[in-house]
Structure 1
Amino acid sequence: MSSRAAIRYAKAILDQAREKGTEEVVFGNMKSISATLNASKELRSVLKSPVIKAEDKRASLQAIFKGHDVSTLSLIDLLVDKKRSAILGEVAAAYLKLYNTSKGIVSAKVTTAVALDPSLDSKILAKVKSLTGSEEVSLEHHIDPSILGGFVLRIGDVQYDASVSNQLDKVQKEFSKRI
Protein backbone atom coordinates (compact mmCIF):
# COMPACT_ATOMS: atom_id res chain seq x y z
CA MET A 1 0.00 0.00 0.00
CA SER A 2 1.37 3.38 -0.97
CA SER A 3 1.62 6.25 1.45
CA ARG A 4 -0.04 9.55 0.65
CA ALA A 5 3.38 11.10 0.04
CA ALA A 6 4.28 8.36 -2.44
CA ILE A 7 1.02 8.89 -4.31
CA ARG A 8 1.64 12.65 -4.47
CA TYR A 9 5.13 12.13 -5.89
CA ALA A 10 3.78 9.57 -8.37
CA LYS A 11 1.05 11.96 -9.55
CA ALA A 12 3.60 14.74 -9.98
CA ILE A 13 5.98 12.57 -12.02
CA LEU A 14 3.07 11.29 -14.14
CA ASP A 15 1.92 14.87 -14.84
CA GLN A 16 5.46 15.87 -15.75
CA ALA A 17 5.84 12.84 -18.03
CA ARG A 18 2.53 13.69 -19.76
CA GLU A 19 3.74 17.23 -20.44
CA LYS A 20 6.96 15.89 -21.97
CA GLY A 21 5.26 13.00 -23.76
CA THR A 22 7.42 10.43 -21.94
CA GLU A 23 4.74 8.55 -19.98
CA GLU A 24 5.67 5.17 -21.47
CA VAL A 25 9.41 5.72 -20.96
CA VAL A 26 8.88 6.66 -17.30
CA PHE A 27 6.50 3.69 -16.96
CA GLY A 28 9.34 1.40 -18.05
CA ASN A 29 11.70 3.16 -15.62
CA MET A 30 9.26 2.69 -12.75
CA LYS A 31 8.85 -1.00 -13.59
CA SER A 32 12.63 -1.32 -13.50
CA ILE A 33 12.90 0.53 -10.18
CA SER A 34 10.11 -1.52 -8.64
CA ALA A 35 11.63 -4.82 -9.79
CA THR A 36 15.12 -3.83 -8.62
CA LEU A 37 13.93 -2.75 -5.17
CA ASN A 38 11.72 -5.83 -4.77
CA ALA A 39 14.67 -8.07 -5.65
CA SER A 40 17.21 -6.39 -3.36
CA LYS A 41 16.64 -6.35 0.37
CA GLU A 42 20.08 -4.77 0.78
CA LEU A 43 19.20 -1.81 -1.43
CA ARG A 44 15.95 -1.26 0.47
CA SER A 45 17.94 -1.32 3.72
CA VAL A 46 20.41 1.24 2.36
CA LEU A 47 17.59 3.58 1.36
CA LYS A 48 15.96 3.32 4.81
CA SER A 49 19.18 3.69 6.78
CA PRO A 50 19.64 7.02 8.58
CA VAL A 51 23.35 6.22 8.98
CA ILE A 52 24.16 6.25 5.25
CA LYS A 53 24.76 9.75 3.90
CA ALA A 54 22.35 11.23 1.38
CA GLU A 55 25.14 11.71 -1.15
CA ASP A 56 26.05 8.02 -0.93
CA LYS A 57 22.40 7.05 -1.50
CA ARG A 58 22.19 9.45 -4.45
CA ALA A 59 25.41 8.13 -6.00
CA SER A 60 24.26 4.52 -5.59
CA LEU A 61 20.82 5.15 -7.09
CA GLN A 62 22.21 7.23 -9.96
CA ALA A 63 24.69 4.43 -10.77
CA ILE A 64 22.07 1.67 -10.54
CA PHE A 65 19.51 3.51 -12.64
CA LYS A 66 21.95 5.15 -15.05
CA GLY A 67 20.37 5.56 -18.46
CA HIS A 68 16.87 6.16 -17.11
CA ASP A 69 14.84 9.17 -18.20
CA VAL A 70 15.79 12.61 -16.86
CA SER A 71 12.44 12.86 -15.05
CA THR A 72 13.10 9.62 -13.22
CA LEU A 73 16.61 10.67 -12.21
CA SER A 74 15.25 14.05 -11.04
CA LEU A 75 12.69 12.22 -8.92
CA ILE A 76 15.48 10.18 -7.32
CA ASP A 77 17.42 13.38 -6.58
CA LEU A 78 14.35 15.03 -5.10
CA LEU A 79 13.55 12.07 -2.85
CA VAL A 80 17.14 11.96 -1.60
CA ASP A 81 17.16 15.74 -0.99
CA LYS A 82 13.90 15.54 0.97
CA LYS A 83 15.19 12.53 2.96
CA ARG A 84 12.46 10.34 1.48
CA SER A 85 14.55 7.88 -0.51
CA ALA A 86 12.97 5.04 1.49
CA ILE A 87 9.66 5.56 -0.35
CA LEU A 88 11.13 5.23 -3.85
CA GLY A 89 9.62 1.76 -4.26
CA GLU A 90 6.22 3.01 -3.12
CA VAL A 91 6.41 5.93 -5.57
CA ALA A 92 7.25 3.53 -8.41
CA ALA A 93 4.35 1.22 -7.50
CA ALA A 94 1.96 4.17 -7.23
CA TYR A 95 3.10 5.46 -10.64
CA LEU A 96 2.48 2.07 -12.23
CA LYS A 97 -1.00 1.95 -10.75
CA LEU A 98 -1.84 5.53 -11.77
CA TYR A 99 -0.51 4.96 -15.28
CA ASN A 100 -2.55 1.78 -15.74
CA THR A 101 -5.67 3.50 -14.43
CA SER A 102 -5.20 6.47 -16.77
CA LYS A 103 -4.82 4.13 -19.75
CA GLY A 104 -7.78 1.93 -18.74
CA ILE A 105 -5.50 -1.05 -18.15
CA VAL A 106 -6.74 -3.55 -15.57
CA SER A 107 -3.97 -5.04 -13.50
CA ALA A 108 -4.29 -8.62 -12.28
CA LYS A 109 -1.91 -10.86 -10.39
CA VAL A 110 -1.91 -14.65 -10.71
CA THR A 111 0.00 -16.83 -8.27
CA THR A 112 0.70 -20.46 -9.11
CA ALA A 113 2.85 -23.22 -7.66
CA VAL A 114 4.72 -23.65 -10.96
CA ALA A 115 5.14 -21.54 -14.10
CA LEU A 116 2.07 -21.40 -16.34
CA ASP A 117 2.13 -22.89 -19.82
CA PRO A 118 1.07 -20.49 -22.59
CA SER A 119 -2.36 -22.05 -23.18
CA LEU A 120 -3.36 -21.77 -19.52
CA ASP A 121 -1.94 -18.26 -19.38
CA SER A 122 -4.14 -17.20 -22.32
CA LYS A 123 -7.21 -18.79 -20.66
CA ILE A 124 -6.57 -16.84 -17.45
CA LEU A 125 -6.06 -13.66 -19.46
CA ALA A 126 -9.36 -14.25 -21.29
CA LYS A 127 -11.15 -14.88 -17.98
CA VAL A 128 -9.80 -11.66 -16.48
CA LYS A 129 -10.94 -9.76 -19.58
CA SER A 130 -14.45 -11.23 -19.32
CA LEU A 131 -14.66 -10.57 -15.56
CA THR A 132 -13.54 -6.96 -15.86
CA GLY A 133 -15.01 -6.07 -19.24
CA SER A 134 -11.67 -4.57 -20.20
CA GLU A 135 -9.68 -5.38 -23.32
CA GLU A 136 -6.46 -4.04 -21.81
CA VAL A 137 -5.20 -6.35 -19.07
CA SER A 138 -1.80 -6.47 -17.43
CA LEU A 139 -1.22 -9.94 -15.96
CA GLU A 140 1.54 -10.25 -13.37
CA HIS A 141 2.83 -13.77 -12.66
CA HIS A 142 4.13 -14.99 -9.30
CA ILE A 143 5.30 -18.45 -8.33
CA ASP A 144 4.64 -19.63 -4.78
CA PRO A 145 5.22 -23.36 -4.19
CA SER A 146 3.41 -23.15 -0.83
CA ILE A 147 0.00 -23.07 -2.56
CA LEU A 148 0.75 -26.65 -3.74
CA GLY A 149 -1.39 -26.40 -6.90
CA GLY A 150 -4.20 -24.47 -8.49
CA PHE A 151 -3.95 -20.69 -8.54
CA VAL A 152 -4.77 -17.47 -6.73
CA LEU A 153 -6.04 -14.66 -8.96
CA ARG A 154 -6.19 -11.11 -7.65
CA ILE A 155 -7.92 -8.35 -9.62
CA GLY A 156 -7.90 -5.08 -7.70
CA ASP A 157 -9.44 -5.80 -4.31
CA VAL A 158 -11.06 -9.08 -5.38
CA GLN A 159 -9.27 -12.37 -4.90
CA TYR A 160 -10.21 -15.78 -6.30
CA ASP A 161 -8.43 -18.51 -4.37
CA ALA A 162 -8.54 -21.84 -6.19
CA SER A 163 -5.35 -23.14 -4.60
CA VAL A 164 -4.91 -26.64 -3.23
CA SER A 165 -3.63 -25.26 0.08
CA ASN A 166 -6.82 -23.20 0.48
CA GLN A 167 -8.99 -26.24 -0.23
CA LEU A 168 -6.99 -28.29 2.29
CA ASP A 169 -7.46 -25.55 4.89
CA LYS A 170 -11.23 -25.65 4.30
CA VAL A 171 -11.28 -29.44 4.71
CA GLN A 172 -9.24 -29.19 7.93
CA LYS A 173 -11.63 -26.58 9.36
CA GLU A 174 -14.61 -28.71 8.46
CA PHE A 175 -13.07 -31.76 10.17
CA SER A 176 -12.24 -29.79 13.30
CA LYS A 177 -15.86 -28.51 13.50
CA ARG A 178 -17.20 -32.05 13.42
CA ILE A 179 -14.86 -33.44 16.02
Structure 2
Amino acid sequence: MKLDKYAVGQRYAKALLSLAEQEQQFESIHEEIQALETIFNGNPKLGAVLTDTTLSGLKRRELLKKLVGEFSTLMQHFLSLVFDYQRMAEMPYIIAAYEDLYDHKMGIAHAKVTSAVALDDEQITKISQSFAKREGLNRVLVESVIDPDIIGGIVLESNHKVIDGSIKHGLEQIKALLLK
Protein backbone atom coordinates (compact mmCIF):
# COMPACT_ATOMS: atom_id res chain seq x y z
CA MET A 1 0.00 0.00 0.00
CA LYS A 2 1.39 3.37 -0.99
CA LEU A 3 1.46 6.00 1.76
CA ASP A 4 0.30 9.54 1.12
CA LYS A 5 2.71 12.42 1.70
CA TYR A 6 1.07 13.33 5.00
CA ALA A 7 1.49 9.79 6.39
CA VAL A 8 5.11 9.69 5.22
CA GLY A 9 5.72 13.03 6.94
CA GLN A 10 4.20 11.76 10.18
CA ARG A 11 6.23 8.55 10.24
CA TYR A 12 9.58 10.14 9.52
CA ALA A 13 8.92 13.05 11.89
CA LYS A 14 7.99 10.71 14.75
CA ALA A 15 11.14 8.68 14.16
CA LEU A 16 13.33 11.80 14.10
CA LEU A 17 11.70 13.22 17.23
CA SER A 18 12.16 9.95 19.08
CA LEU A 19 15.80 9.73 18.03
CA ALA A 20 16.44 13.39 18.92
CA GLU A 21 15.04 12.79 22.41
CA GLN A 22 17.01 9.57 22.82
CA GLU A 23 20.24 11.30 21.78
CA GLN A 24 19.41 14.36 23.93
CA GLN A 25 19.45 16.63 20.89
CA PHE A 26 15.82 17.70 21.04
CA GLU A 27 16.40 21.46 20.82
CA SER A 28 19.31 21.34 18.38
CA ILE A 29 17.41 19.09 15.97
CA HIS A 30 14.46 21.49 16.15
CA GLU A 31 16.79 24.33 15.17
CA GLU A 32 18.10 22.25 12.27
CA ILE A 33 14.56 21.43 11.16
CA GLN A 34 13.84 25.17 11.08
CA ALA A 35 16.97 25.69 8.96
CA LEU A 36 15.82 22.91 6.61
CA GLU A 37 12.42 24.55 6.37
CA THR A 38 14.08 27.78 5.26
CA ILE A 39 16.12 25.90 2.65
CA PHE A 40 13.11 24.01 1.26
CA ASN A 41 10.91 27.13 1.28
CA GLY A 42 13.58 29.00 -0.65
CA ASN A 43 14.00 26.12 -3.12
CA PRO A 44 10.55 24.54 -3.57
CA LYS A 45 11.77 22.08 -6.23
CA LEU A 46 14.73 20.82 -4.21
CA GLY A 47 12.94 17.72 -2.93
CA ALA A 48 11.80 16.79 -6.42
CA VAL A 49 15.32 17.24 -7.79
CA LEU A 50 16.82 15.06 -5.05
CA THR A 51 14.24 12.36 -5.82
CA ASP A 52 14.41 12.66 -9.63
CA THR A 53 15.73 9.37 -10.99
CA THR A 54 16.53 10.95 -14.37
CA LEU A 55 19.54 12.58 -12.69
CA SER A 56 22.42 10.29 -11.97
CA GLY A 57 22.64 9.01 -8.42
CA LEU A 58 26.08 10.57 -8.14
CA LYS A 59 24.80 14.07 -8.99
CA ARG A 60 21.92 13.74 -6.56
CA ARG A 61 24.28 12.47 -3.86
CA GLU A 62 26.57 15.49 -4.47
CA LEU A 63 23.58 17.82 -4.02
CA LEU A 64 22.69 16.02 -0.81
CA LYS A 65 26.24 16.44 0.52
CA LYS A 66 26.02 20.18 -0.10
CA LEU A 67 22.66 20.28 1.66
CA VAL A 68 23.67 18.35 4.77
CA GLY A 69 27.22 19.67 5.19
CA GLU A 70 26.43 22.10 8.01
CA PHE A 71 24.10 19.82 9.97
CA SER A 72 24.81 17.56 12.95
CA THR A 73 25.74 13.93 12.43
CA LEU A 74 22.28 12.85 13.55
CA MET A 75 20.58 15.10 11.01
CA GLN A 76 23.03 14.06 8.29
CA HIS A 77 22.18 10.40 8.90
CA PHE A 78 18.48 11.18 8.95
CA LEU A 79 18.65 13.09 5.66
CA SER A 80 20.71 10.31 4.09
CA LEU A 81 18.03 7.82 5.14
CA VAL A 82 15.27 9.99 3.66
CA PHE A 83 17.36 10.33 0.50
CA ASP A 84 18.07 6.57 0.26
CA TYR A 85 14.36 5.81 0.50
CA GLN A 86 13.68 8.45 -2.18
CA ARG A 87 11.49 10.54 0.14
CA MET A 88 13.18 13.93 -0.29
CA ALA A 89 10.11 15.21 -2.18
CA GLU A 90 8.15 14.64 1.05
CA MET A 91 10.61 16.67 3.13
CA PRO A 92 8.22 19.66 3.51
CA TYR A 93 5.64 17.25 4.99
CA ILE A 94 8.25 15.73 7.31
CA ILE A 95 9.28 19.22 8.44
CA ALA A 96 5.67 20.30 9.05
CA ALA A 97 4.89 17.10 10.97
CA TYR A 98 8.04 17.51 13.09
CA GLU A 99 7.10 21.12 13.90
CA ASP A 100 3.62 19.96 14.97
CA LEU A 101 5.05 17.21 17.18
CA TYR A 102 7.59 19.61 18.68
CA ASP A 103 4.92 22.22 19.42
CA HIS A 104 2.66 19.62 21.02
CA LYS A 105 5.49 18.31 23.20
CA MET A 106 6.49 21.84 24.24
CA GLY A 107 2.89 22.96 24.92
CA ILE A 108 2.93 25.52 22.11
CA ALA A 109 -0.10 26.37 20.00
CA HIS A 110 -0.57 28.65 17.02
CA ALA A 111 -3.62 30.87 16.91
CA LYS A 112 -5.13 33.26 14.41
CA VAL A 113 -6.90 36.21 15.99
CA THR A 114 -9.22 38.17 13.74
CA SER A 115 -10.35 41.62 14.83
CA ALA A 116 -12.10 44.55 13.19
CA VAL A 117 -9.18 46.88 13.99
CA ALA A 118 -5.47 46.36 14.56
CA LEU A 119 -4.56 45.02 17.98
CA ASP A 120 -1.55 46.39 19.84
CA ASP A 121 1.16 44.17 21.32
CA GLU A 122 -0.30 44.37 24.81
CA GLN A 123 -3.71 43.17 23.62
CA ILE A 124 -2.15 40.31 21.66
CA THR A 125 -0.09 39.31 24.70
CA LYS A 126 -3.19 39.29 26.93
CA ILE A 127 -5.14 37.19 24.42
CA SER A 128 -2.20 34.79 24.07
CA GLN A 129 -1.76 34.39 27.83
CA SER A 130 -5.48 34.00 28.46
CA PHE A 131 -5.88 31.32 25.79
CA ALA A 132 -2.73 29.51 26.96
CA LYS A 133 -4.08 29.41 30.52
CA ARG A 134 -7.53 28.26 29.36
CA GLU A 135 -6.07 25.43 27.26
CA GLY A 136 -3.26 24.45 29.66
CA LEU A 137 -0.53 25.47 27.22
CA ASN A 138 2.88 26.94 27.86
CA ARG A 139 2.72 29.42 25.01
CA VAL A 140 0.44 30.58 22.20
CA LEU A 141 1.91 32.18 19.10
CA VAL A 142 -0.62 34.62 17.68
CA GLU A 143 -1.09 35.74 14.10
CA SER A 144 -3.22 38.87 14.00
CA VAL A 145 -5.62 39.42 11.08
CA ILE A 146 -7.87 42.42 10.46
CA ASP A 147 -11.38 41.90 9.08
CA PRO A 148 -13.72 44.92 9.41
CA ASP A 149 -16.70 42.67 8.56
CA ILE A 150 -16.74 41.23 12.09
CA ILE A 151 -17.70 44.75 13.32
CA GLY A 152 -16.02 44.35 16.73
CA GLY A 153 -14.70 41.79 19.21
CA ILE A 154 -12.37 39.00 18.14
CA VAL A 155 -12.44 35.54 16.56
CA LEU A 156 -9.73 33.17 17.79
CA GLU A 157 -8.91 30.03 15.81
CA SER A 158 -6.47 27.44 17.16
CA ASN A 159 -6.09 23.67 17.16
CA HIS A 160 -9.35 23.13 15.27
CA LYS A 161 -11.23 25.32 17.76
CA VAL A 162 -12.98 28.57 17.02
CA ILE A 163 -13.94 31.02 19.73
CA ASP A 164 -16.13 33.60 18.09
CA GLY A 165 -16.58 36.68 20.25
CA SER A 166 -17.33 38.99 17.35
CA ILE A 167 -20.24 41.39 17.27
CA LYS A 168 -21.19 39.98 13.87
CA HIS A 169 -21.57 36.51 15.40
CA GLY A 170 -23.61 37.91 18.29
CA LEU A 171 -25.94 39.69 15.88
CA GLU A 172 -26.35 36.48 13.85
CA GLN A 173 -27.30 34.58 17.03
CA ILE A 174 -29.87 37.23 17.96
CA LYS A 175 -31.28 37.13 14.44
CA ALA A 176 -31.59 33.33 14.61
CA LEU A 177 -33.43 33.56 17.95
CA LEU A 178 -35.84 36.16 16.60
CA LEU A 179 -36.60 34.07 13.52
CA LYS A 180 -37.57 31.00 15.59
Q: Size of the alignment, in residue pairs?
A: 165
- Bigger Rg over Cα: 2
TM-score for both structures, normalised by structure 2: 0.67
2:141 partner letter:
L
Q: Which residue of 1 aligns with 2:103?
A: 100
1:102 partner letter:
K
Question: What is the distance in 1 between the residues matched to 2:64 and 2:14?
Answer: 21
User: Is 1:46–2:49 an aligned residue pair?
Assistant: yes
Q: Which residue of 2 aligns with 1:36?
A: 39
Question: What is the distance in 2 between the residues matched to 1:50 and 1:161?
Answer: 49
Question: What is the distance in 1 between the residues matched to 2:49 and 2:100?
Answer: 25
Question: What is the distance in 1 between the residues matched to 2:40 and 2:165?
Answer: 29
List alignment gaps of at least 5 residues for structure 2. Answer: 176-180
TM-score for both structures, normalised by structure 1: 0.68
Q: Which residue of 1 aligns with 2:6?
A: 3
Deviation at residue 89 of structure 1 after TM alignment: 1.3
1:73 partner letter:
Q
Question: What is the distance in 2 between the residues matched to 1:3 and 1:49?
Answer: 20
Q: Which residue of 1 aligns with 2:71?
A: 68
List alignment gaps of at least 5 residues for structure 1. Answer: 175-179
Deviation at residue 162 of structure 1 after TM alignment: 7.5
Question: What is the distance in 1 between the residues matched to 2:86 and 2:122?
Answer: 47
Q: Which residue of 2 aligns with 1:20?
A: 23
CA contact (8 A) 1:108 1:155 kept: yes
Between 39-48 and 84-93, the greater mean CA deviation after superposition:
39-48
Deviation at residue 152 of structure 1 after TM alignment: 6.0
1:110 partner letter:
K
Show CA shifts across 1:108-149 (max 9, x none).
133669996432331231232133122x114154x778x568
Q: Which residue of 2 aligns with 1:177?
A: none
Match of 1:155 among 154, 158, 172: 158
Q: Which residue of 2 aligns with 1:82?
A: 85
TM-aligned CA distance change 1:42 to 1:8, over 3 Å: closer
Deviation at residue 52 of structure 1 after TM alignment: 4.3
CA contact (8 A) 2:109 2:140 kept: yes
